[in-house]
Amino acid sequence: MSTTAPASDLFDPTSDPLDRAPEAVRRAWDEAVASLERGELEESRESLCAARDAAEGFAELEDRLECALAAVRIELGEAVSREALRAILMRAGTPIVLHLAAYQIGRLFELEGAAKKALFYARLSLEHGRRTGRPELEARARNLMGNALAADSYFEQARAEYASALSLDAEPQTPWRAMLEENMGYCDVVLGELERGLTGLYRSLRRLVRLGAERFQSSGRIDLAYGLLRADRPDLATRQLQRAIEFAERHEDGRALRNALFLEAEAAHRLGNTFAARRATQRLGELTGSPDLAEYLLHADVLELVNLRA
C-alpha cells in the first residue's frame, strides 16, 4: 500500500521526501549524485533505479526519485514520458516534487525545440522552486528559462536569467555551475561582447576539465569555438572542435556532433582548407539527411545567422 507524506510535510514548503527516506534509498541516492557529478550518467541512472525500487510504497518519495531519474534519462537521450511527469505534477504535495516535475517537462520541450512551452514550465518550476527556499532549485529553473529564451533568440533576456542564476551562487563546485557560466558566455558572444564572453567560456571549460566531466565538455568546446570564430581565430576554433567531436562521438551526443561539424566546416572554410570543409559538410549531410543544405554551407558564411541553442 502506498504511503503519502505526512499532512504536516505537505504544508511545509521546505520538506523533501528524501529527508525521511530509508537508509537504502539514501545510500543509492548518494551514489547517484556522486556518479552524476563525475559525468557518469549511466551509473547514476542505475543507482537512481535502485533508490526508486527501495522507495516502493512511499508515494511522494517515489515521485521525487522518478523525477530525478527522468532528468538523467533525458540527458542520456532516452525516452521519458511527459504524461507520467504531468501526472506527478497533478498529484504531488510538496513544492520540491512539483518543481522537479515541471522542470523535466520544460526540459523535454526545450530539447524538442518548443521554446515557448519550455518557458511556461520553466516559470512554473521557478514558482515552486522558490517556495522551497533552496537557491539551487531557483538557479536551475532560471537557467532553464534562459535556455528557452535563448532558443527563441531573446539573448538579452536569457542573459539576465543566467545572471540571476549565477548570483544565487548555487552548487559552485559542480559541472552544472560550469555549464551555467558557459550559457552566460555564449550570450555575451552573441551580443557582441567577445572579450567578456570568451573569458567566461574559457573559465567554464577549465572548470569542467578540472572536475573530469568529459561528457559535458562537448558543448563547452563548441561554444568556445563559436566565440573564437566570431573573434576570427579559426585555427584555435578547430582545435576545440576536434576535441568536441571526439567527446560527442564517445558519448553518442548527436546534437553536439552536428553543431561541431557545422562549425568545423566553417573553420576549415575560413582557413582555406577545402578538403576538410567538404569532409565535415558531407558527414553533416549524412547525419541530418540534408546533403543539399550541407553543400550550401560550403559556399555561404552563415555564422552570424546560426543559433546553437535553437
In angstroms, rounded to a whole number, what is the distance separating the alpha carbons of residues 100 and 83?
Answer: 14
In this predicted structure, the answer to whether residue 9 has a pLDDT above a threshold of 80 is no
The DSSP-derived string for the chain is --BPPPHHHHT-TT--GGGG--HHHHHHHHHHHHHHHTT-HHHHHHHHHHHHHHTTTBHHHHHHHHHHHHHHHHHTT----HHHHHHHHHH--SHHHHHHHHHHHHHHHHHTT-HHHHHHHHHHHHHHHHHTT-HHHHHHHHHHHHHHHHHTT-HHHHHHHHHHHHHTT-STTSHHHHHHHHHHHHHHHHTT-HHHHHHHHHHHHHHHHHHT-GGGHHHHHHHHHHHHHHTT-HHHHHHHHHHHHHHHHHTT-HHHHHHHHHHHHHHHHHHT-HHHHHHHHHHHHHHHT-HHHHHHHTS---GGG--TT-
In this predicted structure, the answer to whether residue 267 has a pLDDT above a threshold of 70 is yes
Q: From residue 228, give the alpha-carbon distance in Å to each of 17, 63, 66, 83, 191.
A: 45, 43, 40, 41, 14
In this predicted structure, the answer to whether residue 90 has a pLDDT above a threshold of 80 is yes
pLDDT at residue number 38 = 84
Answer whether 158's CB lies under 8 Å from 180's CB.
no
Residue type, 111: L
Contact residues for 163 (Cβ-Cβ < 8 A; gap 6+): 184
In this predicted structure, the answer to whether residue 20 has a pLDDT above a threshold of 60 is yes
Average pLDDT over all residues of the chain = 93
pLDDT at residue number 1 = 35
Only one residue has cell 561541431, namely 260
Instruction: Report the pLDDT averaged over residues 37-57.
Output: 94
Q: How far is CA 133 from the centre of its chain?
A: 23
pLDDT at residue number 4 = 44
In angstroms, rounded to a whole number, what is the distance separating the alpha carbons of residues 245 and 215?
Answer: 11
Give tens-digit pLDDT for 206-222.
999 999 889 899 999 99
Give tens-digit pLDDT for 51-86.
999 999 999 999 999 999 999 999 999 999 999 999
In this predicted structure, the answer to whether residue 292 has a pLDDT above a threshold of 90 is no
pLDDT at residue number 6 = 44
Comparing 35 with 3, the larger pLDDT belongs to 35
Q: Which three cell numbers stand for residue 24?
A: 537504502
pLDDT band at 12 (very low <50, low <70, confident <90, very high): low
Give tens-digit pLDDT for 117-174.
999 999 999 999 999 999 999 999 999 999 999 999 999 999 999 999 999 999 998 9
Comparing 30 with 298, the larger pLDDT belongs to 30
pLDDT at residue number 300 = 74
